[in-house]
């Protein structure tokens, strides 16, 4: 049996709540690459939910000092925010067989530590991926009744859902949920040992190409509740519905220079108003170096393109 608390090696708390408001707990799981996008998302949440007290629970492996300083400043900027940082040991993920693809990292598995570590101090939590942006109030979730369900989430796109249900041999009556935004009842989550079952499944199976998302659907998909797509809006980009609450950039990331989706401008507006207004994207793997090279060439910056391409070759050969 996993003792998830053993893998949290440090805990820090910044800020204090100075207003008597309804309280929502929100969790993120990131590595140092995704701290700036997460910070921008946090500011978008705070700007659109000044009528809520928000406790942010950030589970991460490491971060740059400049980003930590900004998170501390963020906790001081808003009277309705507390930021709790939990440093996670990646030893928990030794033995994982599920392929972590270029767009996924082990940080996507931090949600399993978060869901167990925070209980019973926290009874319900909103878990959100960092590649998101909040554009409207989220407090409707606080009053949502889950009944006997363990979690609530948006159903994934039809093509992905159909393919993954077939690949994972799921019951045809079962929905396939996107794990980018999950509203979870932590009591039911832990009574059903969802985190542990998911981790064990990923150590046993090699066909979970969407890692944590596949695992959650196999283990607890029958106990999920579907919620409107406005809480995890990833369809019909570049347009969005008028009642959209959370935009999820699950394919193209708005901080990538080569991404040209229409909703990039929405994220850019929030970035410009955030403490990370001056953050510049830096490629993290050979795929992103190649895309930077192609984008630079397209924009006739041939010298930069050749530099990025040289970096791509070096990292590709070093793999």
- Rounded Cα distance, 238 and 134, in Å: 16
> Is pLDDT at 319 greater than 70 in this prediction?
no
- pLDDT of 100 reads 58
- Rounded Cα distance, 240 and 236, in Å: 7
Q: What's the whole-number mean pLDDT along residues 177-182?
A: 96
**pTM, two decimal places:** 0.94
8 A C-beta contact, residue 241 and residue 233: yes
Residue range 265-291, pLDDT digits in tens: 999 999 999 999 999 999 988 899 999
- Rounded Cα distance, 55 and 17, in Å: 9
Structural domains of the chain in order of their starting residue, each with its CATH number: 4-231 (3.90.550.10), 283-319 (no CATH)
Average model confidence (pLDDT) for the chain? 92
Residue range 120-137, pLDDT digits in tens: 999 999 999 999 999 999
Percent of the chain with pLDDT over 90: 76
């Amino acid at each position: 049996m996993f003792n998830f608390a053993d893998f949290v090696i440090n805990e820090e708390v910044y800020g204090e709540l100075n207003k008597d408001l309804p309280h929502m707990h929100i969790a993120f799981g990131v590595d140092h690459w995704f701290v700036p996008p997460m910070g921008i998302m946090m500011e978008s949440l705070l700007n659109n939910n000044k009528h809520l007290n928000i406790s942010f629970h950030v589970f991460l492996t490491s971060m740059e000092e400049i980003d930590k300083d900004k998170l501390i400043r963020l906790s001081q900027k808003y009277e309705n925010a507390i930021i709790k940082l939990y440093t996670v040991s990646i030893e928990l993920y030794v033995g994982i067989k599920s392929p972590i693809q270029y767009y996924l990292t082990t940080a996507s598995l931090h949600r399993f530590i978060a869901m167990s570590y925070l209980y019973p101090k926290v009874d319900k939590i909103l878990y959100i991926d960092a590649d998101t942006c909040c554009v409207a109030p989220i407090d409707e979730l606080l009053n949502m009744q889950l009944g006997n369900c363990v979690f609530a989430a948006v159903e994934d796109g039809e093509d992905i859902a159909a393919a993954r249900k077939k690949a994972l041999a799921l019951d045809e009556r079962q929905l396939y949920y996107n794990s980018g935004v999950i509203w979870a009842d932590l009591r039911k989550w832990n009574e059903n040992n969802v985190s542990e079952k998911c981790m064990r499944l990923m150590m046993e199976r090699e066909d979970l190409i969407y890692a944590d998302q596949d695992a959650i659907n196999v283990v607890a998909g029958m106990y999920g509740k579907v919620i409107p797509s406005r809480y995890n809006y990833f369809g019909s980009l570049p347009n969005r519905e008028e009642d959209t609450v959370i935009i999820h950039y699950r394919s193209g990331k708005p901080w990538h220079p080569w991404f040209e989706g229409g909703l990039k401008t929405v994220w850019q507006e929030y970035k410009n108003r955030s403490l990370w207004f001056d953050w510049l994207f830096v490629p993290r793997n050979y795929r992103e170096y190649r895309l930077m090279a192609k984008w630079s060439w397209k924009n006739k910056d041939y010298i930069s393109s050749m530099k990025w391409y040289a970096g791509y070759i070096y990292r590709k050969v070093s793999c």
